[in-house]
Structure 1
Amino acid sequence: MLAGIRAHAAHVERYLSRTFSPNTHLSGEALGLFYAGTLFPELRAAGRWQRLGARILLEESERQILPDGVYFEQSTCYQRYTLETYLHFMILARRSGLELPAAVGERVRRMLDFLLAVRRPDGSIPPIGDADGGWLLPLDDRSPEDLRGVFSTAAALFGRSDYAWAAGGAAPETLWMLGPPGLEAFEALSPAPPERAPSRLFPDGGYAVMRSGWSPHDHHLIFDVGPLGCPLSGAHGHADLLGIQCSAFGKRFLIDAGTHGYTAEPEWRDFFRGTAAHSTVMVDGAGQAEPAGPFAWKSRPAARLRRWLTSDRFDYADAEHDAYSRLSDPVRHRRRVLFVKPRYWVVVDDLEGKAEHRVELRFQFAPMVVTVDPTLWARAYAPGRHDLRIRPFAPVPLQAEVREGEQAPIQGWVSPDYGRRRTAPVLIYLAATRLPLRIITLLLPGDRPFAPPPAVSPLLREGDGLAGILFEDSGETVRFDTGGFVVELA
């Protein structure tokens, strides 16, 4: 066995992933060297392996972990994998008497804080970007979205009550990783939700998180306002610029469709990481970026955040991208999301151009029943008595349709885990019109699934443009101008 470890470590040292996949491949290799050098000091190269592994992990923590705690490949799966790597590194270093710079622990905590913010009210971590379902060292049988073991071990290691709250109790992984003292450290904590405000912007990674609170029954929305993948290749990023994911009353409604696979079925690979699998806008049937093989894009456009504000009453994010500037008539997409807490969201999509285009406003749902009526009101039914209603308003006619399980073209599918796929409805509102075009969409969580939809009408501005919406029964109005919004109660 010792000879095998020596051979493996020597091979890893010789073929480090410094040029191809210098991401979790490189950090995982470095952790392997650190383990070999630390646990087997009798091997001649042990000291060199330990120093090299530690040096790489320190360097990569600064390069791969953005200042706001988002992993640079824009993938929650690989963020979790990176977290596992650094938790192992910190625990083993502590046990071997090696003091690490404080910055390492701070970066790890920032990664955990991001996952705490995007964590759904039901406790799961939403898939963002690629996910292969792998774990560094699976010590319990968990789904890829279940990070309770990670939060439990982090709670004991850092003494954080909010991580203990997210863990929901001491996990077996903590006993394996930290032994009985780890369980004692966990039990000494008083689990409590985070003290900071529930809504938060992550400006470096490019995510605006809007939530009504920390309870399992709250509303939650993630708005993607960042780049397509990391600066190196964008390999694990999806073409989901300005996409949203949404939970209401703790139930998942709008989700990322997942990954499914990498190389076995290229057409499915392109679909799941393409724009059509995400809740955003498509123009002329084209994705925001064109694939160039399973792990590359011909171009890597990015969204730009224009404004963010949060208060007790509202969350508001304003962002744009120019991914469709490659069209013969360039198109710019600006999306604004307003959360009127804790009742509803309003999404404003502005498409700027000069010619006629086909515009698709898409909403990818989790597996559930979704219907749409002739007045364009759509209703998604979650288990129990909760629903999410959607109603768009536009100055031109919109066609509404729900597609599910289609293969020509592929649409209406989600992948709950790597290698698996199942049907799920996608709601599409279509218009073929000359730009510019504004669509204002109401996302309304409800707990009266058999009640008729509320009376809501558009507010017009000069020149037949849309200015906002009016709730006719209450008289409440929501208006948008170039710089922001105004919500007025009757």
Structure 2
Amino acid sequence: MNTGFITKKNYDYAEAGHDGYWRLNAPVGVSRQILSIKSEYWLLIDTFRSAGKHTYGVHFHFAENTPLQMDQERGRIVTAHKHGSNLLMQTAGAAVRMNREDCWIARHYNEKHRSSKVVLETEGEGPFTTIVTVLRPFDHSEQISLMVQPLAIKWKSEQEVGPEQAIGFALHDGERTDYVVVSRQGPQSYRFAGVQMTGEVLWLRREEGGTDRAYVVK
């Protein structure tokens, strides 16, 4: 359902959904959008659409013996390898609980190993519930300063755009800020971060002392 893939020099974008939960008494439509800013991070947007009330969960499985540090207050999980690369998971959007659970992973057919997973959970009651996760790789010696904040979006008339119409986030990382807007109503014209852009998935990069770079992803 709603599948698509776009690849460009600076980013990749993919989206897909499924109808496996339409059988419920209060049916749920599930979709995931992924914006990959190449060599920097991935932005995952998981959207659940339903008229009913549900508990929603997104599961992230880790390799065996991966050391994890969880910060519920800041909504982040960090792998803590002493050497090599690590991963920061930063949540945003709905009020999310982070739970670490035991799980099985399989690297080959008919083989399984004990490991751990992190489950991001939230409650929602139609029409849209969204869990946003930023995956930011970093070196063990690197100091990371990633911060994700909701983004105010307006129409041309300066009226505020509601979350049932579009969602947006500002991702601050060092001296740069990325503004991402995702429309729930197809291509529209929005005002945010001092600019006007038209599209369904929009990305604006702003760096200190630099020129804004705007991308109509979709």
Normalising TM by the smaller chain, what interval?
0.7 to 0.9
CA distance in 2, matches of 1:353, 1:373: 30
CA distance in 2, matches of 1:401, 1:449: 27
Which residue number corresponds to residue 432 of structure 1?
A: 123
Contact in 1 for aligned 2:92/2:148 (Cα 8 Å)? no
Task: Please say if 1:468 is aligned against 2:168.
Answer: yes
TM-score by length of structure 2 reads 0.73
Contact in 1 for aligned 2:12/2:37 (Cα 8 Å)? yes
Per-residue deviation at 1:305?
4.2
Contact in 2 for aligned 1:369/1:425 (Cα 8 Å)? no
CA distance in 2, matches of 1:349, 1:448: 28
What amino acid is the match of 1:402?
A: R
Contact in 2 for aligned 1:370/1:425 (Cα 8 Å)? no
Structure with the higher helix share, 1 or 2:
1
CA distance in 1, matches of 2:34, 2:169: 14
Per-residue deviation at 1:355?
0.9
Task: Please say if 1:364 is aligned against 2:61.
Answer: yes
Per-residue deviation at 1:419?
4.8
Contact in 1 for aligned 2:45/2:130 (Cα 8 Å)? yes
- Residue 460 and residue 372 in structure 1: after superposition, are their counterparts in 2 closer, same or farther (change >3 A)? farther
Which residue number corresponds to residue 232 of structure 1?
A: none
Task: Please say if 1:336 is aligned against 2:33.
Answer: yes
SS at match of 1:457: strand
What amino acid is the match of 2:114?
A: T
1:335-376 Cα deviation digits (max 9, x unpaired)? 111111121111111111011101001111111112210211
- Residue 487 and residue 463 in structure 1: after superposition, are their counterparts in 2 closer, same or farther (change >3 A)? closer
Which residue number corresponds to residue 447 of structure 1?
A: 139
1:301-349 Cα deviation digits (max 9, x unpaired)? xxx2432211111111121111100000111011111111121111111
Task: Please say if 1:326 is aligned against 2:23.
Answer: yes
What amino acid is the match of 1:481?
A: S
Which runs of 5 or more residues in structure 2 are unaligned?
A: 154-160, 187-199, 207-218
Per-residue deviation at 1:444?
0.8
- Residue 386 and residue 315 in structure 1: after superposition, are their counterparts in 2 closer, same or farther (change >3 A)? same
Per-residue deviation at 1:452?
4.6
CA distance in 2, matches of 1:415, 1:448: 27
Report 1 or 2 for greater relative contact order, CA contacts < 8 Å, sequence distance ≥ 6: 2
The size of the alignment, in residue pairs, is 179
Which residue number corresponds to residue 197 of structure 2?
A: none
List aligned pairs for 1:38-187, cutoff 5 A: none
CA distance in 1, matches of 2:84, 2:55: 36
Task: Please say if 1:458 is aligned against 2:150.
Answer: yes
Per-residue deviation at 1:415?
2.8
- Residue 464 and residue 316 in structure 1: after superposition, are their counterparts in 2 closer, same or farther (change >3 A)? closer
SS at match of 2:23: coil
Which runs of 5 or more residues in structure 1 are unaligned?
A: 1-303, 405-411
RMSD across aligned positions (CA) = 2.2
TM-score by length of structure 1 reads 0.34
Contact in 2 for aligned 1:305/1:317 (Cα 8 Å)? no
Per-residue deviation at 1:403?
1.1
Per-residue deviation at 1:417?
3.9
What amino acid is the match of 2:41?
A: Y
